[in-house]
Structure 1
Amino acid sequence: MSLQLAVAVEPLWFPLVKKFYQAFYPSGKPNKAEPLWVIKEGANILCAVRLKPLDQCLFLTGLVTHPQYRNQGIAGQLLRSISKQLAQQPSYCFNTPELIPFYRRHGFIEATDEARLPSELRSRLQRYRIKQPSLIAMKYHKKTPM
């Protein structure tokens, strides 16, 4: 399958993206006010991600690939496609340990000094760790060659 670049979600597509999240990542809950990016093939969404703007940074969240298209490099293609947006301001994500190698390959590094995280991210991480104690904060560092 030839991959397309990610496209920003237009308002017309929002209901389809919302259904995509409901089907494959119910806790993802997209918001019309947040930038959403997808890779699609025709009318089918293959992969989606949210870039939640916070006061001091961007928070990458809700990266999900349709189950039929997993392990084909589509999520990586999506991250490469939005690298310009990620590089424009400090950008972060939270991950479980098994996802760290994937995010490292796509320009993220572990934020080892959590005290230096923007305050709204630090408080969010503390809340999320109540249910997922192993979450690790990562910061977009630079685009890495593949």
Structure 2
Amino acid sequence: MSTSANITQVEALWFPLVKKFYQTYYPSGKPNKSEPLWVIKQGPTIIAAVRIKPFVDCQLMTGLVTHPEYRQQGYGSTLLDALRSEFEHIPSFCLNQPELIPFYQQHDFVLVQDEHSLPDDIQGRLRRYRVKQPELVAMVYQSATR
């Protein structure tokens, strides 16, 4: 990862650029101004982004996407590492394709074995998303400090 890139929580001023980034590189990831968003940017270029959807008793990390020209360079890992403190204070989940399990396991997410134990908000999203993505799996953040 370039040393001139930095990670920042998105301010309102940047929201239109982040929205455009998602429309271009991850159209199903629709950012919401009320949800926390983090990006890695290099000057005016957004390199990677991730969103956190808060619920009453948990949160869903979603929409992790890297600009195609910067993929396989560690930017997704850098974002997840920077957000560890966000994941540690409330149960944090992600929903992803099975081929991404090893990636998320490297960042202390573990596969949820009993999906009936998921919070209602996460269960509901998993059911809805599986209509179009039947292989989707649920993972939960489980650091050594929890």
The 5 A counterparts of 1:57-136 are 57-136=58-137
- Counterpart in the other structure of 2:16: 15
Identity %: 55
Q: Please tell me the residue identity of whatever aligns with 1:73.
A: G
Q: Aligned-pair distance for 1:3?
A: 6.1
Alpha carbons of structure 1 residues 97 and 85: separation in structure 2 relative to 1, 3 Å: same
Measure the CA separation in 2 of the matches of 1:10 and 1:53. Answer: 17
Q: Aligned-pair distance for 1:6?
A: 2.2
Contact 1:5 1:39 in 2 (8 A): yes
TM-score by length of structure 1 reads 0.95
Q: Please tell me the residue identity of whatever aligns with 1:32.
A: K
Contact 2:77 2:107 in 1 (8 A): yes
Unmatched segments (≥5 aa) in structure 1: none
Measure the CA separation in 2 of the matches of 1:88 and 1:17. Answer: 26
Per-residue CA distance 1:31-90 (angstroms, 9 max, x = gap): 000000001111111000000001211100000000000000000000000110011100
TM-score by length of structure 2 reads 0.95
Q: Please tell me the residue identity of whatever aligns with 1:72.
A: Q
Match of 2:28, SS? Answer: helix
Measure the CA separation in 1 of the matches of 2:127 and 2:139. Answer: 14
Contact 1:35 1:51 in 2 (8 A): yes
Measure the CA separation in 2 of the matches of 1:134 and 1:22. Answer: 24
Q: CA RMSD in A?
A: 1.4
Q: Please tell me the residue identity of whatever aligns with 1:57.
A: C
Q: Please tell me the residue identity of whatever aligns with 2:72.
A: N
- Number of residue pairs the alignment of both structures matches: 144
Q: Please tell me the residue identity of whatever aligns with 1:69.
A: Y
- Counterpart in the other structure of 1:51: 52
Measure the CA separation in 2 of the matches of 1:97 and 1:108. Answer: 13
Per-residue CA distance 1:77-122 (angstroms, 9 max, x = gap): 0000011001110000001011010000011000111111001111
Alpha carbons of structure 1 residues 20 and 122: separation in structure 2 relative to 1, 3 Å: same
Q: Runs in 1 of length 4+ with deviation above 6 angstroms?
A: none
Q: Aligned-pair distance for 1:129?
A: 0.8
Contact 1:3 1:74 in 2 (8 A): no
